[in-house]
A and B are shown apart, each in its own frame.
Chain A
Amino acid sequence: MTSVASRPAGRSMARRASAREGGPVRSGMTLVAYLFLSPYLALFIAFMLLPTLAAVGISFMRWDILGTPEFIGLDNYRQIFADPLFLTAIKNTFYFVFLTAIPMVVLGLALAMLLDQKLNGTAFVRTVVFLPYVVMVSTVGILWGWLFDKGTGLVNYYLTTIGIEPIAWLKDPHWSMPALAITTIWWTVNTNMIIFLAALQDIPEELHDAATLDGAGPWHRFVYITLPLLRPAMALVTALTIINGWRVFGQAYVMTQGGPEASTFVIVQYIYLTAFQNFEMGPAAAAGVVLLLITLVFSLAQMKLMKAI
């Protein structure tokens, strides 16, 4: 976009300016624009917009795969909130978000700062940290399922070499969720790292140089220059981390199947179980709407919080 702005002023400059400000619309342009948009909009309406509205609609209905749908008001919501398994799922998912959110943001920033330096080998380390991004969730689950094995897993082997007793990770309800959190951090912290890296590289070098001349140490430069300028990236990373946290499913499904003792049973697995194993579409849709509302509330709260800081 900067390349456009820096072009020499010409005849079309005025027209461009008027277009930016939403000036006169050339006749026929609207039709052309919507013609270009129509394939996307058709797919978007059919597979995004209507399903979203339908999900809300179905959540107010009794809807089994067979039989006629019937409006039943809030009964589905009453049903799921009376279901201890759903409450467990909300609690577990919240615990997962709690365990992953702060490490994902802090570690993402720390990795970005470490690898933003002009040192030999940073490009290699960036590649290594980024590699898990392309590993599919089933594979992540299969791999870490073994790493966390009590008897033959690498994690316990290295823990015992530093004197820690073997932990039954995925078989112990107290450790299963932390194990999933560690797996997830290993798998996805790279996304946050890349966003922070891009933001760090947008910070003008001169700011740091000037501050150094004024006698500011590394810590002061971090607090008074880096952190404030990273605020937009921080907001984005935090929002994405929290939303994706609430959506967790694959890791839990492959590594622990929600167990042991439902200690890793999460909201999306509740939707899966209710809709596609018990075929109760109404309550499943209601659980989906609850998930949407939770992520909305968290996004809004997080935006407010970011503004306040």
Chain B
Amino acid sequence: MQDQRSNRAGKSLGGRTLAYVLMVIVTALWGAPILWMLVTSIKPESEIYAYPPAWMPDAPTLQAYAALFQRFPMLTWFRNSAVVGVLTTMLTLAVDALAAYPLARMQFPGRRVVMGVIFATFLLPYELLFVPLFLGLNSYGLVDSIFSLTVPASANAFGVFLLTQFFQAVPRELEDAAVMDGCSRFGFFWRILLPLTKPGLATVAIFTFVASWNNFFWPLIATNSDETRTLPVGLATLVGGAGMSMKQSVLMASAVVATLPTAIFFLALQRHFVRGIAATGIKG
């Protein structure tokens, strides 16, 4: 990304120095909270509130992690989040890719209307939907189920929008040739279009998974037992509960555990994140 750039602001030595000073400040401001979270999670009790605060623990320990997993159903929450994340991602990918294909590559009556309605939901504050969704799912006895956490979230406009752009970039000749060779539309979609647009599918998969992993408000409403509760909702019960004072090291350990999967995901596949956000600007 940066290779093609020339040195706009930093031509002079002064400009360059200023840029580096600013970069150090930015790194400190954005990195310090994350680092503090890590450092605190491995501090023994006696060091947590040391004054002045120490960035290196004297006697690092994993006590806080042990306490966290002993006292809270972390593994259940973790498993729920993973199941919900994977199912939501698979369902979203399937449904969004199927929908994006005709929107990107076919002419049919109603196409503009369908696209307009789907993309208008970019501007919709989803919180509006939660009361009717809850009532509807409740009347079918589906609240507090994996269904309520996965299926309703799968009709998102982001995946359709992104995949439409990727699908449009595939040359028309390929499709014509495939059809002439007796390939059905679905055959072309499945055997040619999808393999050619793997980067787009990966971007959608990553975004959907991270959004699902971090989703808070809907699972807060739609779950009421540890059997279905996801990590964000479970973790929120660690704080704010009346009279519950949790050690900061345990809280920070919970933060590390919750962040680790998506952080690894992100560091491994960073360019997909960047491309996806740049294409739509939609978070989650």
- The listed residue (B4, B23, B126) touching A125 by CB distance below 8 A is B23
Chain A residues positioned under 8 Å from B258 (CB to CB): 135-136, 138-139
Q: Are A139 and B132 in contact (CB under 8 A)?
A: no
Does A127 contact B216, Cβ atoms closer than 8 Å?
no
Q: Interface on chain B toward A: helix, strand, loop, or mixed SS? A: helix
Q: How far is the CA of A183 from the CA of B4 in the complex (A)?
A: 34
Q: Which residue of A lies closest to B99 (CB)?
A: A40
Decide if A118 is an interface residue (CB 8 Å cutoff). yes
Pick from A78-86, A95-103, A172-180, A284-292 the stretch touching chain B.
A284-292
Q: Once the chains bind, are A136 and B232 in contact (CB under 8 Å)?
A: yes
Give how many B residues have a beta carbon under 8 Å from the other chain's beta carbons.
113
A139 is contacted by which of B98, B176, B221, B255 (Cβ under 8 Å)? Answer: B255
In the bound complex, residues from chain A placing their C-beta under 8 Å from that of B27 are 124-125, 128
Contacts of A195 in B (CB 8 A): 277-278, 281
A109 to chain B, nearest CB (A): 13
Is B86's CB within 8 Å of the partner chain A? no
If over half of A's interface residues share one DSSP class (helix, strand or loop), that class is named, otherwise mixed; here it is helix
A51 within 8 A of B: yes
Contact with B along A74-118 (1 / 0, CB 8 A): 000000000000000000000000000000000000010111111
Which residues of the partner chain B approach A25 to less than 8 Å between Cβ atoms?
Answer: 107-109
Residues from chain A with a CB closer than 8 A to the CB of B221 are: 272, 275-276
Confirm or deny: A16 has a beta carbon within 8 angstroms of a beta carbon on chain B: yes
A288 B171 Cβ-Cβ under 8 A: no
Would you call A47 and B152 a contact (CB within 8 A)? Answer: yes
A132: interface (CB < 8 Å): yes
Q: Inside 8 A of A236's CB, which chain B residues have their CB?
A: 281
Q: Complex: how many Å from CA A127 to CA B217?
A: 27
8 Å CB contact of B232 from A50, A123, A128, A138:
A138
Residues of A with C-beta under 8 A to B133? 47, 51
Nearest chain B residue, comparing its CB with the CB of A247:
B125
A33 near B108 with CB under 8 A, answer yes
Chain B residue contacts of A141, Cβ below 8 A? 236, 239
A121 to B241, CA, bound (A): 42
Decide if A271 touches B254 in the complex (CB within 8 Å): no
- Which chain A residue has the least Cβ–Cβ distance from B118? A44
Residues of B within 8 A of A289 (CB): 128
We find that the number of chain A residues with CB closer than 8 angstroms to chain B is 111
List 26 A–B pairs whose Cβ atoms lie within 8 Å, in order of A's numbering: A1-B165, A4-B172, A25-B108, A30-B109, A33-B106, A43-B151, A43-B155, A51-B133, A51-B136, A114-B23, A115-B23, A117-B10, A119-B7, A122-B2, A133-B273, A134-B265, A135-B255, A137-B216, A141-B236, A146-B40, A186-B30, A240-B283, A244-B283, A247-B125, A257-B240, A289-B128
Residues of B within 8 A of A (CB): 1-10, 16, 19-20, 22-23, 26-27, 29-34, 36-37, 40, 49, 51-53, 94-96, 98-99, 101-103, 106-109, 111, 114, 117-118, 121, 123-136, 138, 151-155, 160, 165, 168-173, 176, 185, 189, 210, 213-214, 216-217, 220-221, 231-233, 235-236, 238-240, 248, 251-252, 254-255, 258-259, 262-263, 265-267, 270, 273-274, 277-278, 281-283
Taking A47-B129, A135-B263, A271-B127 as known contacts, 14 extra A-B pairs with beta carbons closer than 8 A to each other, sorted by chain A number, are A1-B168, A40-B99, A51-B132, A116-B5, A117-B10, A125-B27, A132-B33, A136-B214, A139-B255, A141-B239, A195-B281, A239-B123, A253-B220, A288-B128
Listed from nearest, the 6 A-B pairs whose CB atoms lie closest are: A198-B278, A40-B99, A54-B132, A33-B102, A134-B262, A43-B155
